[in-house]
Amino acid sequence: MNSFIRSHLHHWEAYVPGKQPKDLKIAPHHRIIKLNTNESPFILSEVSDRLQTLARSRSFHLNRYPDPSAEHLRATAGNILNIPQDHLVFANGSDEIISAIFRAYLGAGDSITLPSPTYGAYAVYSRLYNIKIEELELAADFLLSEENLTGTIGKVVFLPNPHAPSGNALAAKTLLSIIKKFPQKLFVIDEAYIDFNIKETLITEIANHPNLIILRTLSKAAALAGLRVGYAISRPDHIQILRKVLDPYNLNMIAQDLATLPFIHHKKIALLVQKIIAIRDKVTAELTTLGFKTIPSKTNFILTSPQNFTLHPKWTKLRLEKTTPPKNTTDTTNSLPKSLPSSKAQAQLLYSLLTEHQILVRYFPTPRLAPYLRITIGTERDMKRVITVLRSLQKAPKHQ
Ligand SMILES: Cc1ncc(COP(=O)(O)O)c(C=O)c1O
Protein backbone atom coordinates (compact mmCIF):
# COMPACT_ATOMS: atom_id res chain seq x y z
CA MET A 1 0.00 0.00 0.00
CA ASN A 2 1.34 3.46 -0.93
CA SER A 3 1.90 5.26 2.38
CA PHE A 4 2.11 8.71 0.72
CA ILE A 5 -1.60 8.58 -0.07
CA ARG A 6 -4.02 9.92 2.57
CA SER A 7 -5.23 6.84 4.40
CA HIS A 8 -8.99 7.32 3.89
CA LEU A 9 -8.44 7.42 0.12
CA HIS A 10 -7.17 3.85 -0.02
CA HIS A 11 -10.77 2.65 0.26
CA TRP A 12 -12.46 5.65 -1.31
CA GLU A 13 -14.72 4.68 -4.19
CA ALA A 14 -14.62 7.23 -7.01
CA TYR A 15 -17.70 7.96 -9.13
CA VAL A 16 -18.46 5.10 -11.53
CA PRO A 17 -19.49 6.60 -14.87
CA GLY A 18 -21.69 4.77 -17.37
CA LYS A 19 -19.85 2.50 -19.83
CA GLN A 20 -18.25 4.20 -22.84
CA PRO A 21 -18.74 2.71 -26.33
CA LYS A 22 -14.99 1.97 -26.49
CA ASP A 23 -15.45 -0.39 -23.48
CA LEU A 24 -17.54 -2.68 -25.69
CA LYS A 25 -15.19 -4.86 -27.65
CA ILE A 26 -17.16 -4.82 -30.89
CA ALA A 27 -16.34 -4.03 -34.48
CA PRO A 28 -16.23 -0.27 -35.15
CA HIS A 29 -18.86 -0.47 -37.92
CA HIS A 30 -21.53 -1.53 -35.40
CA ARG A 31 -23.80 1.30 -34.34
CA ILE A 32 -23.84 1.64 -30.56
CA ILE A 33 -26.92 3.21 -29.03
CA LYS A 34 -25.75 5.11 -25.97
CA LEU A 35 -28.57 5.59 -23.47
CA ASN A 36 -26.67 5.42 -20.20
CA THR A 37 -25.55 8.91 -19.15
CA ASN A 38 -28.59 11.10 -19.82
CA GLU A 39 -26.94 13.06 -22.61
CA SER A 40 -28.95 14.67 -25.40
CA PRO A 41 -29.03 12.67 -28.64
CA PHE A 42 -29.03 15.93 -30.61
CA ILE A 43 -26.14 18.08 -31.79
CA LEU A 44 -26.52 21.85 -32.03
CA SER A 45 -25.30 22.86 -35.49
CA GLU A 46 -24.56 26.33 -34.09
CA VAL A 47 -21.85 24.77 -31.91
CA SER A 48 -19.98 23.16 -34.83
CA ASP A 49 -20.33 26.36 -36.88
CA ARG A 50 -18.92 28.44 -34.05
CA LEU A 51 -16.03 26.01 -33.53
CA GLN A 52 -15.05 26.47 -37.17
CA THR A 53 -15.27 30.24 -36.84
CA LEU A 54 -13.07 30.16 -33.73
CA ALA A 55 -10.51 27.97 -35.49
CA ARG A 56 -10.15 30.61 -38.22
CA SER A 57 -10.31 33.64 -35.93
CA ARG A 58 -7.22 35.80 -35.47
CA SER A 59 -8.62 37.42 -32.35
CA PHE A 60 -9.07 34.19 -30.39
CA HIS A 61 -5.83 33.96 -28.40
CA LEU A 62 -5.31 30.57 -26.85
CA ASN A 63 -1.81 31.67 -25.76
CA ARG A 64 -3.57 33.79 -23.10
CA TYR A 65 -5.40 32.63 -19.96
CA PRO A 66 -9.19 32.76 -20.09
CA ASP A 67 -11.22 35.40 -18.26
CA PRO A 68 -11.33 34.09 -14.63
CA SER A 69 -14.72 35.72 -14.10
CA ALA A 70 -16.25 34.36 -17.36
CA GLU A 71 -17.92 37.77 -17.65
CA HIS A 72 -19.22 37.48 -21.20
CA LEU A 73 -20.76 34.07 -20.49
CA ARG A 74 -22.35 35.29 -17.25
CA ALA A 75 -23.75 38.36 -19.01
CA THR A 76 -25.22 36.26 -21.84
CA ALA A 77 -26.71 33.69 -19.45
CA GLY A 78 -27.96 36.35 -17.02
CA ASN A 79 -29.75 38.15 -19.83
CA ILE A 80 -31.69 35.07 -20.88
CA LEU A 81 -32.33 33.77 -17.36
CA ASN A 82 -33.19 37.26 -16.10
CA ILE A 83 -30.64 36.92 -13.30
CA PRO A 84 -28.02 39.53 -12.34
CA GLN A 85 -24.48 38.52 -13.31
CA ASP A 86 -23.29 38.50 -9.70
CA HIS A 87 -25.81 35.70 -8.98
CA LEU A 88 -24.01 33.31 -11.36
CA VAL A 89 -20.83 31.25 -11.30
CA PHE A 90 -19.73 28.82 -14.02
CA ALA A 91 -17.56 25.71 -13.72
CA ASN A 92 -16.48 22.51 -15.44
CA GLY A 93 -19.82 20.77 -15.12
CA SER A 94 -22.06 21.07 -12.08
CA ASP A 95 -19.89 18.32 -10.56
CA GLU A 96 -17.12 20.89 -10.10
CA ILE A 97 -19.55 23.13 -8.20
CA ILE A 98 -20.71 20.23 -6.03
CA SER A 99 -17.07 19.67 -5.10
CA ALA A 100 -16.62 23.42 -4.43
CA ILE A 101 -19.64 23.38 -2.10
CA PHE A 102 -17.83 20.83 0.10
CA ARG A 103 -14.75 23.07 0.24
CA ALA A 104 -16.75 26.22 0.93
CA TYR A 105 -19.26 25.03 3.52
CA LEU A 106 -18.27 21.69 5.05
CA GLY A 107 -15.52 20.85 7.52
CA ALA A 108 -14.64 18.48 10.34
CA GLY A 109 -17.73 17.33 12.25
CA ASP A 110 -20.25 18.55 9.66
CA SER A 111 -22.66 16.31 7.84
CA ILE A 112 -24.78 16.50 4.70
CA THR A 113 -28.25 15.13 4.05
CA LEU A 114 -29.04 13.16 0.91
CA PRO A 115 -32.17 11.45 -0.30
CA SER A 116 -31.61 7.76 -0.85
CA PRO A 117 -31.19 6.78 -3.60
CA THR A 118 -29.79 9.79 -5.43
CA TYR A 119 -27.15 11.02 -7.88
CA GLY A 120 -23.88 9.34 -6.87
CA ALA A 121 -21.49 12.31 -6.99
CA TYR A 122 -22.77 13.91 -3.74
CA ALA A 123 -21.76 10.84 -1.71
CA VAL A 124 -18.51 10.43 -3.65
CA TYR A 125 -17.39 13.96 -2.70
CA SER A 126 -18.61 13.59 0.87
CA ARG A 127 -16.36 10.55 1.27
CA LEU A 128 -13.51 12.38 -0.45
CA TYR A 129 -13.82 15.32 1.97
CA ASN A 130 -14.56 13.05 4.98
CA ILE A 131 -18.06 14.44 5.57
CA LYS A 132 -20.72 12.28 7.18
CA ILE A 133 -23.94 11.51 5.28
CA GLU A 134 -27.43 11.50 6.80
CA GLU A 135 -29.71 9.56 4.46
CA LEU A 136 -33.41 10.19 3.88
CA GLU A 137 -35.06 7.01 2.68
CA LEU A 138 -37.48 7.93 -0.11
CA ALA A 139 -40.96 6.43 -0.45
CA ALA A 140 -41.99 4.04 -3.25
CA ASP A 141 -42.34 6.86 -5.79
CA PHE A 142 -38.82 8.15 -4.92
CA LEU A 143 -40.21 11.50 -3.80
CA LEU A 144 -39.30 13.42 -0.68
CA SER A 145 -41.99 14.81 1.56
CA GLU A 146 -41.73 17.06 4.61
CA GLU A 147 -42.51 14.01 6.77
CA ASN A 148 -39.26 12.38 5.55
CA LEU A 149 -37.31 15.25 7.05
CA THR A 150 -37.19 14.12 10.65
CA GLY A 151 -34.19 13.23 12.78
CA THR A 152 -30.77 14.72 12.20
CA ILE A 153 -30.47 16.96 9.18
CA GLY A 154 -27.00 17.88 7.97
CA LYS A 155 -25.64 21.39 7.47
CA VAL A 156 -26.12 21.07 3.71
CA VAL A 157 -29.03 19.24 2.05
CA PHE A 158 -28.57 18.12 -1.56
CA LEU A 159 -31.83 17.59 -3.44
CA PRO A 160 -31.98 17.02 -7.17
CA ASN A 161 -35.30 18.20 -8.59
CA PRO A 162 -36.36 16.51 -10.85
CA HIS A 163 -34.99 13.60 -8.88
CA ALA A 164 -32.18 11.45 -10.23
CA PRO A 165 -32.18 8.56 -10.87
CA SER A 166 -35.99 8.19 -10.80
CA GLY A 167 -37.02 11.15 -12.98
CA ASN A 168 -39.88 11.98 -10.64
CA ALA A 169 -40.26 15.63 -9.58
CA LEU A 170 -41.51 17.72 -6.68
CA ALA A 171 -43.60 20.85 -7.20
CA ALA A 172 -41.70 24.09 -6.53
CA LYS A 173 -44.10 24.97 -3.72
CA THR A 174 -43.41 21.69 -1.88
CA LEU A 175 -39.66 22.32 -2.08
CA LEU A 176 -40.08 25.91 -0.96
CA SER A 177 -42.04 24.91 2.09
CA ILE A 178 -39.20 22.49 3.03
CA ILE A 179 -36.56 25.20 2.45
CA LYS A 180 -38.52 27.68 4.58
CA LYS A 181 -38.97 25.18 7.39
CA PHE A 182 -35.19 24.80 7.86
CA PRO A 183 -33.64 28.29 7.52
CA GLN A 184 -30.44 27.11 9.28
CA LYS A 185 -29.76 24.47 6.63
CA LEU A 186 -28.24 25.21 3.23
CA PHE A 187 -30.33 23.66 0.43
CA VAL A 188 -28.56 22.79 -2.81
CA ILE A 189 -31.32 22.20 -5.33
CA ASP A 190 -29.79 20.43 -8.30
CA GLU A 191 -31.80 21.43 -11.37
CA ALA A 192 -29.76 19.33 -13.82
CA TYR A 193 -32.98 18.19 -15.55
CA ILE A 194 -35.19 21.24 -14.92
CA ASP A 195 -35.47 22.13 -18.65
CA PHE A 196 -37.81 19.13 -18.89
CA ASN A 197 -40.01 20.56 -16.11
CA ILE A 198 -39.16 24.24 -16.31
CA LYS A 199 -42.26 25.61 -14.59
CA GLU A 200 -41.04 24.13 -11.29
CA THR A 201 -37.69 25.96 -11.23
CA LEU A 202 -36.74 27.86 -8.08
CA ILE A 203 -34.57 30.48 -9.80
CA THR A 204 -37.13 33.22 -9.24
CA GLU A 205 -36.91 32.45 -5.49
CA ILE A 206 -33.19 33.08 -5.07
CA ALA A 207 -33.62 36.60 -3.68
CA ASN A 208 -36.02 35.39 -0.98
CA HIS A 209 -33.91 32.56 0.45
CA PRO A 210 -30.40 33.02 1.86
CA ASN A 211 -30.19 29.23 2.34
CA LEU A 212 -30.63 28.30 -1.33
CA ILE A 213 -28.12 27.42 -4.07
CA ILE A 214 -29.38 26.16 -7.43
CA LEU A 215 -27.23 24.01 -9.69
CA ARG A 216 -27.69 23.78 -13.44
CA THR A 217 -25.79 22.02 -16.21
CA LEU A 218 -25.37 22.32 -19.97
CA SER A 219 -24.79 18.53 -20.14
CA LYS A 220 -28.44 17.47 -20.52
CA ALA A 221 -31.07 19.50 -22.40
CA ALA A 222 -28.43 21.93 -23.73
CA ALA A 223 -26.67 19.04 -25.52
CA LEU A 224 -23.15 20.03 -24.46
CA ALA A 225 -22.00 17.22 -22.14
CA GLY A 226 -18.64 17.09 -23.93
CA LEU A 227 -17.92 20.74 -23.15
CA ARG A 228 -18.20 20.23 -19.34
CA VAL A 229 -20.07 23.35 -18.27
CA GLY A 230 -22.37 23.78 -15.31
CA TYR A 231 -23.33 26.74 -13.15
CA ALA A 232 -24.73 27.82 -9.83
CA ILE A 233 -27.35 30.48 -9.21
CA SER A 234 -27.52 32.03 -5.77
CA ARG A 235 -27.18 35.25 -3.80
CA PRO A 236 -23.87 37.09 -4.33
CA ASP A 237 -22.39 36.07 -0.96
CA HIS A 238 -22.67 32.38 -1.91
CA ILE A 239 -21.46 33.05 -5.47
CA GLN A 240 -18.41 34.92 -4.18
CA ILE A 241 -17.31 32.12 -1.88
CA LEU A 242 -17.82 29.49 -4.58
CA ARG A 243 -15.78 31.58 -7.04
CA LYS A 244 -13.08 31.91 -4.38
CA VAL A 245 -12.71 28.15 -3.79
CA LEU A 246 -12.82 27.23 -7.50
CA ASP A 247 -9.56 27.24 -9.46
CA PRO A 248 -8.93 30.77 -10.76
CA TYR A 249 -8.94 29.85 -14.47
CA ASN A 250 -11.29 26.90 -14.16
CA LEU A 251 -13.28 27.43 -17.33
CA ASN A 252 -11.24 27.38 -20.54
CA MET A 253 -11.63 29.94 -23.33
CA ILE A 254 -13.35 27.57 -25.76
CA ALA A 255 -15.86 26.44 -23.12
CA GLN A 256 -16.62 30.05 -22.13
CA ASP A 257 -17.33 30.90 -25.75
CA LEU A 258 -19.37 27.86 -26.80
CA ALA A 259 -21.36 27.79 -23.56
CA THR A 260 -23.08 31.03 -24.60
CA LEU A 261 -24.76 29.20 -27.51
CA PRO A 262 -27.49 27.25 -25.64
CA PHE A 263 -28.50 30.55 -23.99
CA ILE A 264 -28.51 32.48 -27.28
CA HIS A 265 -30.42 29.62 -28.98
CA HIS A 266 -32.68 28.84 -26.04
CA LYS A 267 -35.76 28.64 -28.26
CA LYS A 268 -34.14 25.86 -30.26
CA ILE A 269 -33.21 24.03 -27.04
CA ALA A 270 -36.84 24.33 -25.89
CA LEU A 271 -37.98 22.67 -29.15
CA LEU A 272 -35.48 19.83 -28.68
CA VAL A 273 -36.76 19.40 -25.12
CA GLN A 274 -40.33 19.05 -26.44
CA LYS A 275 -39.13 16.50 -28.97
CA ILE A 276 -37.41 14.43 -26.26
CA ILE A 277 -40.52 14.62 -24.05
CA ALA A 278 -42.70 13.33 -26.92
CA ILE A 279 -40.31 10.41 -27.59
CA ARG A 280 -40.14 9.68 -23.83
CA ASP A 281 -43.91 9.51 -23.46
CA LYS A 282 -44.24 7.28 -26.52
CA VAL A 283 -41.55 4.84 -25.39
CA THR A 284 -43.00 4.77 -21.86
CA ALA A 285 -46.40 3.73 -23.28
CA GLU A 286 -44.74 1.02 -25.41
CA LEU A 287 -42.81 -0.27 -22.41
CA THR A 288 -46.06 -0.45 -20.43
CA THR A 289 -47.58 -2.72 -23.08
CA LEU A 290 -44.46 -4.91 -22.82
CA GLY A 291 -44.98 -5.31 -19.05
CA PHE A 292 -42.60 -2.64 -17.70
CA LYS A 293 -43.55 -0.36 -14.81
CA THR A 294 -42.04 3.10 -15.24
CA ILE A 295 -41.70 5.83 -12.62
CA PRO A 296 -43.42 8.97 -14.02
CA SER A 297 -40.57 10.98 -15.51
CA LYS A 298 -40.08 14.73 -15.80
CA THR A 299 -36.63 14.31 -17.35
CA ASN A 300 -34.84 12.93 -20.42
CA PHE A 301 -34.58 9.45 -18.88
CA ILE A 302 -36.83 6.83 -17.38
CA LEU A 303 -36.43 4.40 -14.50
CA THR A 304 -38.32 1.33 -15.52
CA SER A 305 -38.79 -2.14 -14.06
CA PRO A 306 -39.59 -5.30 -16.06
CA GLN A 307 -42.18 -6.31 -13.43
CA ASN A 308 -44.48 -8.19 -15.83
CA PHE A 309 -42.16 -8.49 -18.79
CA THR A 310 -41.87 -12.05 -20.00
CA LEU A 311 -38.37 -12.69 -21.14
CA HIS A 312 -38.30 -15.98 -23.00
CA PRO A 313 -36.92 -18.57 -20.51
CA LYS A 314 -34.35 -19.76 -23.05
CA TRP A 315 -32.53 -16.39 -22.78
CA THR A 316 -32.21 -16.93 -19.04
CA LYS A 317 -30.95 -20.44 -19.59
CA LEU A 318 -28.44 -19.37 -22.24
CA ARG A 319 -27.13 -16.65 -19.97
CA LEU A 320 -26.75 -19.00 -17.02
CA GLU A 321 -24.80 -21.37 -19.24
CA LYS A 322 -22.56 -18.51 -20.39
CA THR A 323 -21.79 -17.21 -16.91
CA THR A 324 -21.60 -20.54 -15.04
CA PRO A 325 -19.97 -23.27 -17.12
CA PRO A 326 -21.32 -26.72 -16.15
CA LYS A 327 -19.15 -28.38 -13.50
CA ASN A 328 -20.02 -31.87 -14.68
CA THR A 329 -19.53 -32.09 -18.44
CA THR A 330 -21.48 -35.35 -18.58
CA ASP A 331 -24.55 -33.52 -17.25
CA THR A 332 -27.04 -33.51 -20.11
CA THR A 333 -30.02 -31.87 -18.34
CA ASN A 334 -31.64 -29.47 -20.71
CA SER A 335 -34.49 -28.14 -18.60
CA LEU A 336 -35.53 -24.49 -18.67
CA PRO A 337 -35.51 -22.46 -15.44
CA LYS A 338 -38.49 -23.56 -13.32
CA SER A 339 -39.66 -20.12 -12.19
CA LEU A 340 -39.59 -16.67 -13.70
CA PRO A 341 -36.64 -14.62 -12.45
CA SER A 342 -37.45 -11.78 -10.00
CA SER A 343 -37.64 -8.29 -11.53
CA LYS A 344 -34.22 -7.71 -9.93
CA ALA A 345 -32.62 -10.66 -11.70
CA GLN A 346 -34.62 -9.87 -14.81
CA ALA A 347 -33.41 -6.22 -14.92
CA GLN A 348 -29.79 -7.33 -14.59
CA LEU A 349 -30.25 -9.92 -17.29
CA LEU A 350 -31.91 -7.40 -19.60
CA TYR A 351 -29.04 -4.98 -18.99
CA SER A 352 -26.57 -7.62 -20.23
CA LEU A 353 -28.74 -8.67 -23.14
CA LEU A 354 -29.26 -5.06 -24.27
CA THR A 355 -25.49 -4.48 -24.01
CA GLU A 356 -24.96 -7.52 -26.24
CA HIS A 357 -27.31 -5.85 -28.71
CA GLN A 358 -25.10 -2.70 -28.58
CA ILE A 359 -27.63 -0.78 -26.51
CA LEU A 360 -26.05 0.81 -23.44
CA VAL A 361 -28.44 1.54 -20.57
CA ARG A 362 -27.71 1.89 -16.84
CA TYR A 363 -28.14 -0.74 -14.16
CA PHE A 364 -27.47 0.10 -10.50
CA PRO A 365 -26.90 -3.05 -8.42
CA THR A 366 -28.11 -1.50 -5.13
CA PRO A 367 -31.01 -3.03 -3.16
CA ARG A 368 -33.43 -0.22 -4.02
CA LEU A 369 -32.53 0.22 -7.70
CA ALA A 370 -31.71 -3.36 -8.71
CA PRO A 371 -35.22 -4.08 -10.05
CA TYR A 372 -34.89 -1.18 -12.53
CA LEU A 373 -33.10 -0.11 -15.67
CA ARG A 374 -32.40 3.57 -16.23
CA ILE A 375 -32.78 4.42 -19.88
CA THR A 376 -31.87 7.79 -21.39
CA ILE A 377 -34.23 9.00 -24.10
CA GLY A 378 -32.44 8.93 -27.43
CA THR A 379 -33.68 9.66 -30.95
CA GLU A 380 -36.91 8.13 -32.20
CA ARG A 381 -34.83 5.62 -34.17
CA ASP A 382 -32.79 4.65 -31.07
CA MET A 383 -35.92 4.06 -29.00
CA LYS A 384 -37.58 2.05 -31.76
CA ARG A 385 -34.54 -0.23 -31.72
CA VAL A 386 -34.82 -0.64 -27.93
CA ILE A 387 -38.45 -1.72 -28.24
CA THR A 388 -37.67 -4.06 -31.17
CA VAL A 389 -34.86 -5.73 -29.20
CA LEU A 390 -37.04 -6.09 -26.08
CA ARG A 391 -39.82 -7.65 -28.20
CA SER A 392 -37.32 -10.08 -29.70
CA LEU A 393 -36.28 -11.13 -26.18
CA GLN A 394 -39.84 -12.28 -25.51
CA LYS A 395 -39.30 -14.95 -28.17
CA ALA A 396 -36.85 -17.83 -28.19
CA PRO A 397 -33.35 -16.98 -29.45
CA LYS A 398 -32.93 -17.70 -33.17
CA HIS A 399 -29.33 -18.98 -32.99
CA GLN A 400 -28.22 -21.07 -30.05
C1 LIG B 1 -28.57 15.13 -10.82
C2 LIG B 1 -27.30 15.42 -11.52
N3 LIG B 1 -26.56 16.45 -11.11
C4 LIG B 1 -25.39 16.76 -11.70
C5 LIG B 1 -24.92 16.00 -12.75
C6 LIG B 1 -23.58 16.33 -13.34
O7 LIG B 1 -23.67 17.20 -14.38
P8 LIG B 1 -22.39 17.82 -15.08
O9 LIG B 1 -22.22 17.10 -16.36
O10 LIG B 1 -22.75 19.26 -15.26
O11 LIG B 1 -21.22 17.66 -14.14
C12 LIG B 1 -25.64 14.92 -13.21
C13 LIG B 1 -25.13 14.09 -14.32
O14 LIG B 1 -25.60 13.04 -14.66
C15 LIG B 1 -26.87 14.60 -12.58
O16 LIG B 1 -27.60 13.56 -12.96
Per-residue pLDDT of the chain (400 residues; tens, 9 = 90+): 899 999 889 888 888 888 887 777 666 667 899 999 999 999 999 999 999 999 999 989 999 999 999 999 999 999 999 999 999 999 999 999 999 999 999 999 999 999 999 999 999 999 999 999 999 999 888 998 888 787 789 999 999 999 999 999 999 999 999 999 999 999 999 999 999 999 999 999 999 999 999 999 999 999 999 999 999 999 999 999 999 999 999 999 999 999 999 999 999 999 999 999 999 999 999 999 999 999 999 999 999 999 999 888 888 777 766 655 444 433 333 444 445 568 788 899 999 999 999 999 999 999 999 999 999 999 999 999 999 999 999 988 876 5
Show the ligand 1 pocket: residues with CB < 6 angstroms.
Answer: 38, 93-95, 119, 160, 164, 190, 192, 217, 219, 225, 230
- Domain ranges, ordered by start, for the chain: 8-37+267-326+334-392, 58-264
Cα–Cα distance for residue pair 10/234, rounded to 1 Å: 35
Fold designation for 8-37+267-326+334-392: Aspartate Aminotransferase, domain 1 (3.90.1150)
Sorted by sequence, the CB contacts under 8 Å of residue 202 that are 6+ apart come out as: 172, 175, 176, 189, 191, 212, 214
Centroid of ligand 1 to alpha carbon of 94 (angstroms): 6
Centroid of ligand 1 to alpha carbon of 166 (angstroms): 14
Cα–Cα distance for residue pair 197/189, rounded to 1 Å: 14
Centroid of ligand 1 to alpha carbon of 95 (angstroms): 6
Give the residue among 312, 305, 315 at the shortest CA–CA distance from 343.
305
Centroid of ligand 1 to alpha carbon of 238 (angstroms): 20
Backbone phi and psi for residue 141, each to the nearest 5 degrees, phi listed first: -85, 5
Centroid of ligand 1 to alpha carbon of 217 (angstroms): 7
Atom 7 in ligand 1: residue holding the nearest Cα: 94
Mutation probe of ligand 1 site: the residue of 118, 219, 369 with most atoms within 8 A of C-beta: 219
Backbone phi and psi for residue 238, each to the nearest 5 degrees, phi listed first: -70, -40
Cα–Cα distance for residue pair 6/99, rounded to 1 Å: 18
Q: Do domains 8-37+267-326+334-392 and 58-264 have the same CATH topology?
A: no
Fold designation for 58-264: Aspartate Aminotransferase; domain 2 (3.40.640)
The amino acid occupying position 78 is G
